[in-house]
Amino acid sequence: MTEAQLGELLLILALLFGLSYLTGGLLLKFRIPVILGALFVGMGIHYTTVIDRILTNGATATGFNFLAQLGVLFLLFYIGLQIDFSEIKKLSKDIVWATVLNTAFPFLFGVLVMLLLGYGWMVAFVIGLTRMPTAEAVIVPILDEFNLIKTRVGSFIVGAGVLDDVIEVFLVAVVSIWIAQATGVHMSTEREIGDVILGTIIFIVATYIVYNWIIKPISKWVKPKPANLVLLSMFILLAFGGFSQYAQLGLVVGAIVAGIIMRPALNLAKEMGEETVHVLRAISYGFFGVVFFLWIGLSVDLTGLFEHPELAILLFLAAFVGKLVGIFLMVPMKKITVKEAWTIGIGLNARLTTEIIVAKLLYDAHLIDVELFTALVAASSVSTVVVPLLFTLFVKMWGKELQAPPVLEVSQQHIKTKKLHDFKGED
Look at residue 9 and tell me if it is in a domain. no
Virtual torsion, Cα 275, 281, 284, 289, nearest 10 deg: -170
- The reported pLDDT for the residue numbered 411 is 41
Lowest mean pLDDT among 23-37, 143-157, 304-318, 407-421: 407-421
Phi-psi region of 407 (alpha: psi -120 to 50; beta: other; left: phi over 0): beta
Rounded-to-integer distance, Cα 354 and Cα 376, Å = 11
Angle between helices 354-364 and 370-398 (to 10 degrees): 180
Coil/strand/helix, residue 250: coil
How many Å separate Cα 231 from the centre of its chain? 25
Look at residue 398 and tell me if it is in a domain. yes
Q: Quick count: other Cβ atoms within 10 Å of Cβ 92?
A: 12
What confidence tier does 409 reach under pLDDT thresholds 50, 70, 90? very low
- The reported pLDDT for the residue numbered 75 is 87
Is it the case that residue 29 has pLDDT exceeding 70? yes
Is it the case that residue 176 has pLDDT exceeding 70? no
Look at residue 295 and tell me if it is in a domain. no
- The reported pLDDT for the residue numbered 50 is 74
Is it the case that residue 412 has pLDDT exceeding 50? no
Is it the case that residue 19 has pLDDT exceeding 90? yes
Return the higher-pLDDT residue of 179 and 189: 179
- The reported pLDDT for the residue numbered 420 is 43
Share of the chain above pLDDT 70, in %: 85
What is the mean pLDDT of the segment spanning 150-179? 75
Is it the case that residue 354 has pLDDT exceeding 60? yes
Instruction: Give the range of the structural domain holding residue 396, as residue numbers without chain letter.
Output: 87-286+303-426
Is it the case that residue 242 has pLDDT exceeding 70? yes
**Per-chain mean pLDDT for the chain:** 82
Is it the case that residue 230 has pLDDT exceeding 70? yes
- The reported pLDDT for the residue numbered 427 is 45
Best CA proximity match to 385, nearest among 139, 50, 167, 132: 139
What is the mean pLDDT of the segment spanning 99-118? 93
Question: Amino acid identity of 422?
Answer: D
In our burial notation (b when 16+ CB lie closer than 10 A, e otherwise), range 10-23 reads eebbeebbebbeeb
Share of the chain above pLDDT 90, in %: 27
Phi-psi region of 337 (alpha: psi -120 to 50; beta: other; left: phi over 0): beta
- The reported pLDDT for the residue numbered 386 is 87
Q: How confident is the model over 300-340, as pLDDT tens digits? A: 777 767 777 888 899 999 999 999 999 999 999 888 899 99
Rounded-to-integer distance, Cα 202 and Cα 391, Å = 36
Q: Residue 174: which residues within 8 A CB-CB, separation 6 or more? A: 125, 126, 129
Coil/strand/helix, residue 249: coil
Is it the case that residue 413 has pLDDT exceeding 50? no
- If you average pLDDT over each of 69-73, 137-141, 297-301, which comes out highest? 69-73
What confidence tier does 423 reach under pLDDT thresholds 50, 70, 90? very low
- If you average pLDDT over each of 85-89, 148-152, 159-163, 267-271, which comes out highest? 267-271
What confidence tier does 106 reach under pLDDT thresholds 50, 70, 90? very high
How many Å separate Cα 364 from the centre of its chain? 26
Rounded-to-integer distance, Cα 141 and Cα 163, Å = 19
Look at residue 27 and tell me if it is in a domain. no
What confidence tier does 288 reach under pLDDT thresholds 50, 70, 90? very high
Look at residue 38 and tell me if it is in a domain. no
Is it the case that residue 36 has pLDDT exceeding 80? yes
Tally the domains of the chain: 1
What confidence tier does 108 reach under pLDDT thresholds 50, 70, 90? very high
- The reported pLDDT for the residue numbered 164 is 74
| CATH of residue 138 | 1.20.1530.20
